[in-house]
Amino acid sequence: MTRLLTFAEGEYYHVYNRGTEKRKLFLDKSDHERFISLLYLCNNTHPVHRSDRKNLSTLKLFSLQREETLVDIGAYCLMPNHFHLLLREHSEGGLTLFMQKVSVAYAMYFNKKYSRKGVLFEGKFKAQHVTKDEHLKYLFAYIHLNPIGIIDREWKKHRIKNKADAKRYIKNYVYSSFFDYANTETRPENNILNKSAFPEYFETIKDFEECTQNWIEYSEEAEG
């Protein structure tokens, strides 16, 4: 199938994909960690093989020197059967190449680990061109709030059973870039992001917390 969207340097895109037949993509901690490491390693014009660096610590892995990045990553979130990325194309053709590298590398890892064959993702990755400032800022909240869906399926309808539980859950969810915006402490995974390539919506941690928590606060308190 031909993609109708044409990517352009300097433009922003919400990129996402899910497992074929809605199957789970991440079955344990190591699956999550492998995909997240690929977000850093595959964002490189030079070929990089994750298997060659399997003995490296997390700190050293996310400190490896890269030739030139293909995209700028502003946010990411891994869900059980899909993922969300907020990207800016850094070089011509970079976004498509980056996604191909990540998808192929992860599918090869997953199929080998679980002794399966065939496609892992549901066709080509999906992408939405973000052209409005308010939409771009909204996506920083939307992407990071997705994990609420693991404990409350009605969250997108602005119906949340327990707002305190929702806030606590996203704060402790380590498979997204939420931590890297909501804390003064820096973790190795912070190197995945290039925050300077995106508008400075959040001058302080409080600004980011307000952006994400407003969605929760203005949601209806659902029963049961």
Domains contained in the chain, number:
1
Across 8-26, average pLDDT: 96
Which residue segment(s) compose the domain that 84 sits in? 12-221
State the amino acid at position 79 in one-letter form: M
Quick one: tokens of 212? 């994400």
Q: Is residue 7 part of a domain?
A: no
Q: Is residue 24 part of a domain?
A: yes
Position 204 scores a pLDDT of 94
Q: Is residue 151 part of a domain?
A: yes
**Is pLDDT at 47 greater than 90 in this prediction?**
no
**Is pLDDT at 181 greater than 90 in this prediction?**
yes
pLDDT band at residue 85 using 50, 70 and 90 as cut-offs: very high
State pTM to two decimals.
0.92
CATH of the domain at 26: 3.30.70.1290
Q: Is residue 107 part of a domain?
A: yes
pLDDT band at residue 224 using 50, 70 and 90 as cut-offs: very low
Cβ atoms within 10 Å, residue 16: 18
User: Alpha carbon of 45 to those of 28, 68, 107, 135, 200: distances in Å?
Assistant: 29, 5, 20, 29, 27
**Is pLDDT at 211 greater than 60 in this prediction?**
yes
**Is pLDDT at 2 greater than 60 in this prediction?**
no
